[in-house]
A and B are shown apart, each in its own frame.
Chain A
Amino acid sequence: MALLEVDSVSKTWPGAREPVLDSVSFSVEGGGFAVVQGPNGAGKTTLMRIIAGLLDADRGALRISGVESPARRRDFQRQVGMASAGNTGLYARLSAVKNLAFATRIALLERGRRQAAVRESVERFGLGAFAFRRVDRLSMGRRQRVRLALAFLHEPAIVLLDEPATSLDDDGQAVLAEAISRQTGDGGGVVWFGPQGERRPREPDLTLWIAQGALGRR
């Protein structure tokens, strides 16, 4: 059984004639690193949002480790981590550590695991020097590290990354590469969404090309 199964997922925006995603199917095995590429507006972010649970598909099925969404949404969401494109999604008035601590609680981690998860994330993503500083006082690169830490924080089975290297310096890129290696090394999966030609930390196991709502392999 594949770790992530995207099965014939279709989506048409209300009022649109053409579907933004037309029967898209692919799967990611445990330990797999997949890349979904395509031109701007091709539907990459829509596909990622559907997998993440922000958007419902009109048709098709989604499963992670056999858990189907939306039928078992809570169990499904436990297994997904996401870093969307851009630099939003952080509580500006809270420190990096408080952002992480809050995320552990809405991820419904057991009390005993929460502190360890935060501590480990701080270490893994090199947040130590600014962990207790308010997020709105951090540089874009440092904010991006916090955002990435949030995606991996609760040890999800699948991590979805939309243009995750944005604003990262060489050291930040190395941290991201290490996080991906560790995720796949532990049997999890990573799906990287981004435009063609984007620098990535390693060669993917699966490269998918999305254009005009359809998905092809490369």
Chain B
Amino acid sequence: MTTGIRLSLDGVLGVAQRDASIFFSYRLRAVSQALLALFSVTLFYYVSRLVGSGRFASADAYFAYVVVGLVILHSLAATLAVVPTTIRTELVAGTFERLAISPLGPALGICAMTLFPALAAAVTGALTLAFAVIVFGCRLAGLEAFLALPAGVLAIASFLPFALLVAALVLVSKQAGNLGGLVIIVLSLAGGVYYPPELMPSWIRWVSEVQPFTPALELLRHLLIGSPLSSPGVSAARLAAFAVLATPPAYAVLRAAVSSCRRRGTLVEY
């Protein structure tokens, strides 16, 4: 590894460490995250008691289905909602200026801002799962469940291009959350978080085919709760392909947004 790459990686980790320090400086934040996970699991446990659809073998089957949806939703929210909000906060606080004039640079700095939220989402997802198993008796698949960890990393990597595109938009438009929030709502409606996408009208079903969210859900459900999936390898390959093919153009768009802001003089405006 060259010195430049090593130092850049170190800078990226520095950003993640900064985000962690800020997160834990609010003492109740971690507790509230855990409570949020517990309450959402509780809510859907009781909602699942009402389910009598032929689509699910039992109320417990629907509960397990939704729990995995919630786990992935945390990851999506971490990349699409937390990062834009962090950028906005930095712009208003004037701290983005420090990143913008640093050798690490604003584009790589923004990429680095996805690390800690992704890690935090993974922990929240694990807690969600743990509550579902321990408190409500949700049953996990056997040893295959451990494969959910690398699959989860793959899923988060496949969401990264979306995060970079939303970040680029935040830099240019100076607005956070709206677009990210919209994408999260659309994906949770049409992607299969709370119900199978097949229930949606056919004209909207294409949404579940053109993004990595739905294959991530299918793969994790297969690994965690044993939902049938014809070829898990293909789902994993789709996620990997999305991450590998979509990240470079998304990063190029982010860099273009930074350059545009530098030209227009709006890089540190808020």
List the interface of chain A (C-beta within 8 A of B). 11, 13-14, 46, 49, 52-56, 73-75, 77-78, 80, 82, 84, 86, 88-94, 98, 102-103, 105-111, 134, 150
Residues of chain A lying within 8 A (CB to CB) of residue B94:
84, 86, 88-90
Residue pairs across A and B with Cβ atoms less than 8 A apart, 20 shown, are A11-B265, A14-B264, A52-B101, A53-B100, A54-B262, A54-B267, A56-B259, A73-B105, A74-B103, A77-B102, A77-B105, A89-B94, A91-B95, A94-B25, A98-B21, A102-B15, A103-B98, A108-B11, A108-B104, A134-B25
Residues of chain A lying within 8 A (CB to CB) of residue B95:
88-91
A54 to chain B, nearest CB (A): 6
Interface of chain B residues 131 through 150 with chain A (CB within 8 A): none
A62 to chain B, nearest CB (A): 13
Residue of A whose beta carbon sits closest to that of B18: A102
Interface of chain B residues 224 through 270 with chain A (CB within 8 A): 259, 262-265, 267-268
A80 touches which of B22, B101, B262 (Cβ 8 Å): B101
Majority SS at the chain B contact face: helix
The answer, yes or no, to whether B8 is at the interface (CB within 8 Å) is: yes
**How many A-B contacts are there with CB distance less than 8 Å?**
99
Cα A54 to Cα B264 in complex, Å, equals: 10
The answer, yes or no, to whether B93 is at the interface (CB within 8 Å) is: yes
Residues of chain A lying within 8 A (CB to CB) of residue B26:
93
Determine the interface band of chain B, counting residues with CB < 8 A from chain A: 20 to 34
The answer, yes or no, to whether B13 is at the interface (CB within 8 Å) is: yes
Cα A114 to Cα B36 in complex, Å, equals: 38
B230 to chain A, nearest CB (A): 46
List the interface of chain B (C-beta within 8 A of A). 7-8, 10-11, 13-15, 17-18, 21-22, 25-26, 93-95, 97-105, 109, 259, 262-265, 267-268
Contacts beyond the supplied A93-B26, A106-B103: 18 A-B pairs with Cβ under 8 Å: A13-B265, A53-B262, A77-B105, A80-B101, A86-B94, A88-B95, A90-B93, A90-B95, A93-B21, A94-B22, A94-B25, A98-B21, A102-B15, A105-B15, A105-B17, A105-B104, A106-B15, A106-B99
